[in-house]
A and B are shown apart, each in its own frame.
Chain A
Amino acid sequence: MADQATETAKSKPKSVLGLAIFALVALLFVIGLVTDSPLEGLQIHPMDQFIVTPLFGGEQVSFYTPTNVTLWMALSVLGVVALLVLGTRGRAIVPSRVQSIAELMYGFIYKMVEDVAGKDGLKYFPYIMTLFVFILFANFLGLLPMAFTTTSHIAVTALMAMAVFLAVTVIGFYKNGLAFFGLFWVKAAPLALRPVLALVEVISYFVRPVSHSIRLAGNMMAGHAVIKVFAGFAGVMGIGAIAPVLAISAVYALEILVSLIQAYVFAILTCVYLKDALHPAH
């Protein structure tokens, strides 16, 4: 009993700290609501949060201009480095919290690559791990109030998807030579059907980068736009906006789940494409 009392007394500062962080986030959220949604009339601009603006003033956006996209991408890279490099620096036998998160993440992706792409896919594990943690951090950082979601831009996700597509195609031809075309020639089907199936397979092969990139961007964009629409309602209703705030909380919780699942889906689809490249025969 006495132990329990000291335990609760000890854990109290932590819960107070958590509460303080929560209150800070909530405050930022409210500030974001008030500043972003004009209070006169029902004027909601849910897509305004995705506008790319230069960081240091000016209007022109060239390829070298530091913009808010650059800033939040750099922040997500910093987050990845902080978690994976600094977190595992201690290499304790009994891992600290940060170290165990990093180790769990590493083991999770390692097992996924091994299960889906096979043993010879493990050579490409670092690339898939990089993709996963970068997308995960970009998604999660984008959920902070007043942050910018870099993965909601098709330009960002399309680059990653095209990199995966080109890499997988090159690996497929390098490993199998012309046998890579066996991916499109379904041996299990009757001979008369094979040309038709080959056409379908070729189309679905070239559509891969499109669906791969737009899935991530569309999910992130849609979720954030929904949150902003409810935020617009809350801004119009003012102080009595209980229903919109509850709805925002619910959608926000869903968005946290979606962020994780979309990063996972991007990584696992990369593994599936890699498996097709390594073992093209059906």
Chain B
Amino acid sequence: MEGDIVEMGKFIGAGIACTGMGGAAIGVGNVVGTYISGALRNPSAAAGQTATMFIGIAFAEALGIFSFLVALLLMFAV
């Protein structure tokens, strides 16, 4: 057993921060799932909305990225 308690706290904090990515996963899954259910109802309108889907994915993903950022900050900056 080596290291100090600050080091331990850093690792634990980074690990907990990563649970935020689960939220991003739910969000992205929600966006794509809704897109597909809409696309199967009206396939002719689907092609025009792919770009919108990707924008939605990007915005949903952005909030997961902040948890990743917090993990990075805890690991390397604190």
Question: Measuring CB to CB, which residues of chain A are less than 8 angstroms from any residue of chain B?
Answer: 112, 115-116, 207, 210-211, 214-215, 218, 261, 264-265, 268-269, 272
Contact = CB atoms under 8 A, between A and B. Distances in A.
Chain A to chain B: the 9 pairs with minimum beta-carbon distance, closest first: A211-B62, A214-B65, A265-B58, A218-B68, A211-B65, A215-B65, A269-B58, A268-B54, A214-B69
A112 B61 CA distance: 21
Given A214-B69, A218-B65, A218-B68, A112 B51 contact: yes
Interface of B: 51, 54-55, 57-58, 61-62, 65-66, 68-69
Say whether chain B's binding surface is mostly helix, strand, loop, or mixed: helix
Contacts of B54: 261, 264-265, 268
A215 B69 contact: no
A268 B51 contact: yes
Which of A207, A211, A265 has the most chain B CB atoms inside 10 A of its CB?
A211
Nearest to A269: B58
Contacts of A214: 65, 68-69
Nearest to B52: A116
A268 B49 CA distance: 13
B57 to A, nearest CB: 7
Contacts of B66: 210-211
A265 B66 CA distance: 17
B20 to A, nearest CB: 13
Given A211-B62, A215-B61, A215-B62, A268 B69 contact: no
A154 B41 CA distance: 41
B52 to A, nearest CB: 9
A137 B69 CA distance: 25
Contacts of A264: 54
Nearest to B69: A214
Contacts of B58: 215, 265, 268-269
Contacts of B57: 265
Contacts of A272: 55
Contacts of B62: 207, 211, 215
A207 B61 CA distance: 13
Contacts of B68: 214, 218
Nearest to B62: A211
A264 B53 CA distance: 12
Which of A210, A218, A261, A272 has the most chain B CB atoms inside 10 A of its CB?
A218
A151 to B, nearest CB: 15
Nearest to A211: B62
A1 to B, nearest CB: 39
Contacts of A268: 51, 54-55, 58
A112 B65 CA distance: 25
Nearest to B58: A265
Contacts of A218: 65, 68
Given A210-B69, A215-B58, 20 more contacts: A112-B51, A207-B62, A210-B66, A211-B65, A211-B66, A214-B65, A214-B68, A214-B69, A215-B61, A215-B62, A215-B65, A261-B54, A264-B54, A265-B54, A265-B58, A268-B55, A268-B58, A269-B55, A269-B58, A272-B55
Contacts of B55: 116, 268-269, 272
